[in-house]
A and B are shown apart, each in its own frame.
Chain A
């Protein structure tokens, strides 16, 4: 079964660092871009950034550039989302999603279950 499994919920204080993960299985992991999508409480989906695990080429939404870092460990089929210093406004559910791109498709076809991050003093 093709799936993405994310790490568990986190509760952190402002200023702390955090790295959450997304592990792929059931397909050739290095061949598909993986995106991160944020959903703040009661809000819609916000595209954050994307990485190609094969060479760790990462791209970011201009609005979030510099606030997070996306990395990959292709030997372990894992993609990470990292914050150096969390803010209360980072409280959200974070989803990873596989980009399936080809001749007739370019969409996010497999999604992780989501990781809830709560930042509160």
Chain B
């Protein structure tokens, strides 16, 4: 099974900050099979970015994804109040199981 790790596990940032979250896989993942989700407290997760780079419909352009092989990143170019949430990477390359990373919680500084 492919294992995913994320760093940091949590971070504190201010509105307007640039935020970078990293996802590392235990083995190489094809770029079409790495996704990112956003989850706000008390809400279901929401697909944010699929296939490493592609923004899901309706997702603001301040979100972007990059990476290849075993290392992937989610970048928020200018953090907005509504972006304070937890973020999870997920792989669909090898499975099942189609594993999630442990999550990164973005909090207000």
The answer to whether B3 has its CB under 8 Å from any CB of chain A is no
Q: A14-38 vs B: 1/0 string, CB under 8 Å?
A: 0000000000000000000001010
Q: Which residues 36-77 of A sit at the B interface, judged by CB distance below 8 A?
A: 37, 44-47, 49-50, 59-62
**Which residues of A does B touch, CB under 8 Å?**
35, 37, 44-47, 49-50, 59-62, 95, 97, 99, 101, 104-109, 111-114
Q: Which residues 63-106 of B sit at the A interface, judged by CB distance below 8 A?
A: 86, 88, 90, 92, 95-103
Contact of B56 among A47, A99, A101, A109 (CB under 8 A): A109
Contact of A95 among B35, B45, B92 (CB under 8 A): B45
How far apart are B83's CB and chain A's nearest CB, in angstroms?
Answer: 18
Set of chain A residues within 8 Å of B35, measured between Cβ atoms: 106-108
Contact A114:B44 (CB < 8 A) given known A45-B88, A62-B1, A109-B56: yes
Set of chain B residues within 8 Å of A62, measured between Cβ atoms: 1, 97
Set of chain B residues within 8 Å of A101, measured between Cβ atoms: 92
Query: B54 near A47 (CB under 8 angstroms)?
Result: no
Q: A44-B88, A60-B96, A107-B90 given. 7 additional CB < 8 A pairs?
A: A47-B100, A50-B96, A61-B97, A95-B44, A106-B33, A109-B50, A112-B44
